[in-house]
A and B are shown apart, each in its own frame.
Chain A
Amino acid sequence: MSRLANLHPGRGGTILLGLLPFIVLVFAYVLGSNTRLQENPDDKLLPAPSSFVDTIERYAFQEDRRSGERLWWTDTGASLERLLIALGISGALGLSIGLAIGAVPYVRSLLLPFVAAFGMIPPLAILPILFIVLGLGETAKVALIVIGITPIVIRDIALRASEIPHEQLIKAQTLGASTWTLSIRVLLPQLLPRLIDTVRLNLGCAWLFLIAAEAIASTEGLGYRIFLVRRYMAMDVILPYVAWITTLAFAMDYGLRRARRTFFPWAEAN
């Protein structure tokens, strides 16, 4: 067993190796920050780690002088609300339309080409249209994410539905299933784990659209804050916010993965 391809790290080794890139990144940052600050104490590009603590203290635990709010949490709340509403709508739409495409060949012929073409529209290109039609409020931001994500979810769910062996569908019909009961008892339960996978893979896109919409027209939100303080080159704010967004996205991804394992144990074995 001397080939590299056959060597596996132990339990401790796995954890250590997983942490290593993070440690290297933090170390490199601290090193770079120190070097630059020694040359120029007013350097804004790589602020000292201690300034991050100040920022978090200021944004998360002190009330803002102007609005009287704890900005960190208002921003987080606003962004998460938009994101979760949009993901909920996309998931529900994607699942029901994808299921209909998977279950009924006529719906498939009707909708699949349209969804495929619609999904090719770059969502950011129609953001101005959304702002014109829906105004600058919450609706336009949620709509951008929904428009960006839903076609992908529909196509992925429909693809999964077409992968379900024909034998199962025929068997269910010999057991008395109608199109409806076939859909809800045989197709739908087997599509739910894939829905979780699809949403997980699209979380990155969803955040991208959210931050883009917030950057352009908003009064609160994580993306709004980052683009607001960019004017002052406030890296001490931007970097903690980016780290926080990453943490939120990672937690959502992890939560979905756990949910899949808990609710659909049968889907793990395959």
Chain B
Amino acid sequence: MAIVTIRRLWKEYGEQVVLENLNLTIADGEFVTIVGASGCGKTTLLRMLLGVEKPTRGEILIDGAPLVYEPAPERGIVFQRYSLFPHLTVTRNLLLGLELSGAHLTGRLFGRARRQALEQVHALLNEIGLYAARDKYPSQLSGGMQQRLSIAQSVICQPKILLLDEPFGALDPGITADMHELILRLWEKNRMTVFMVTHDVKESFQLGTRLLVFDKKRHDPHAPDAYGATVTYDIPLNRRLRAVA
């Protein structure tokens, strides 16, 4: 869990202002859902939290310390797709996280350490219902199974913050209920601060403890890029946070 503070954050690409003057304090263990029109900077904020983009002005603090603008193990990510490793089986996709964080020279675990890691992997596979598919490659899995695996992969290294970039956007509507149940279970168990960008307003109300709506406050029809988006609605949905705490 981590407290995330965003202070006077601006993001511009040349003349185009994407985010303007964003100020937020996110409490420990909050499940933040972010909605807004396309191109309003939701994903840009997520990418800055991830560390792959830097703000033009302003700062992001994690537990009071400035965020390092590089992907790091304390911040896990689930993309909409492409984040599984196609050359590894389901088991090894999960094992990789433990191997990369445990062995800096070889990136592999051996002997006892490997057996212990495998036990942890198998337990997690049981939990997400993928144990039967443990020897398959990602391309042999359905979209829903792939996304389950991708979520589990991000969680296995126990990040303080979990970032979800439209994680269920490419899935059939029928299986999203299962996915919601899974993500809430993992969130409660691992006690992470979650940021989830979504297009689905209903989903954002169902899952979040706090809902942020991004939009442009000002709009100049002759210069559509002149003003950026910011948080226009900040809706606390406290029920779940209280249930956990």
Among the listed stretches B2-10, B67-75, B171-179, B184-192, which one makes contact with chain A, having 4 or more residues with CB under 8 Å of it?
B67-75
B85-A186 in contact (CB<8A)? yes
Q: Which residues of chain A come closer than 8 Å to B73, judged between CB atoms?
A: 174-176
Determine whether the beta carbon of A168 is less than 8 Å from that of B87. no
Across the A-B interface, give the 4 residue pairs with the lowest CB-CB distance, nearest first: A176-B101, A181-B107, A173-B71, A165-B82
Contact stretch, chosen from B92-100, B208-216, B222-230, B236-244: B92-100
Are A174 and B76 touching (Cβ within 8 A)?
Answer: yes
> Which residues in window 171-229 of A have CB below 8 A to B?
171-178, 180-181, 184-186, 189-190
User: Given A171-B77, A176-B73, A177-B100, does the pair A184, B82 have CB atoms closer than 8 Å?
Assistant: no
State whether A265 touches B100 (Cβ < 8 A): no
B30 to chain A, nearest CB (A): 20
Please give me the residue from chain A that is nearest to B102 by CB atom: A176
- Summed over the interface, the residue pairs from A and B with CB atoms below 8 Å come to a total of 85
- In the complex, whether B126 has a CB less than 8 A from a CB of chain A is no
Q: Is A42 an interface residue (CB 8 A)?
A: no
Instruction: List CB contacts (< 8 Å) of A231-248 with chain B.
Output: none
Name 6 interchain pairs, CB-CB below 8 A, sorted by A. Answer: A174-B50, A175-B97, A175-B100, A266-B137, A266-B139, A269-B137
Main secondary structure of the interface of A (DSSP, over half): helix
The residues in B between 82 and 113 inclusive whose CB is less than 8 angstroms from any CB of A are 82-88, 96-97, 99-101, 103-108
- Known pairs A165-B82, A168-B85; A177 contacts B76 (CB<8 A): no
Looking at chain B's contact residues, is the secondary structure mostly helix, strand, loop, or mixed? Answer: loop
Contact B83 A167 (CB under 8 A): yes
Tell me if A259 counts as interface (CB < 8 A to partner B): no
Instruction: For A269, give the chain B residue with the smallest CB separation.
Output: B139
| Closest chain A CB from B10 CB (angstroms) | 23
In the complex, the answer to whether B100 meets A176 with C-beta atoms within 8 Å is yes
Task: Return the chain B residue nearest A264 by Cβ.
Answer: B87
- CB contacts (< 8 Å) of A266 on chain B: these are 86-88, 137, 139
Q: Known contacts being A167-B81, A175-B96, A266-B139, is A189 close to B104, with CB within 8 Å?
A: no
Interface size for B (C-beta < 8 A) is 36
| A181 contacts B104, C-beta separation under 8 Å | yes
- Closest Cβ neighbor of B140 among chain A residues: A269
Residues of A within 8 A of B82 (CB): 165, 167-168
Hey, which chain B residues are within 8 Å of A173, CB to CB? Answer: 70-72
Scan A134-174; emit 1 where CB is below 8 A from any B CB, else 0: 00000000000000000000000000000001011011111
Cα–Cα distance between A181 and B98 once the two chains are bound (Å): 12
Shortest Cβ distance from residue B158 to the other chain A in the assembled complex, whole angstroms: 11
Tell me if B146 is interfacial: C-beta within 8 Å of chain A. no
A270 touches B139 (CB 8 A): yes
Chain A positions within 8 Å of B130 at CB level:
none
User: Is B107 within 8 A of A185, CB to CB?
Assistant: yes
Kindly report which residue of chain A lies nearest to residue B76, judged by CB atoms.
Answer: A174
- Shortest Cβ distance from B93 into chain A, in angstroms? 10
A-B contact sample (20 more), CB < 8 A, given A175-B96, A175-B157: A167-B81, A167-B83, A168-B82, A172-B85, A172-B96, A174-B50, A174-B154, A175-B153, A176-B101, A180-B105, A181-B106, A184-B106, A185-B99, A185-B108, A186-B85, A190-B86, A264-B87, A265-B137, A266-B139, A269-B139
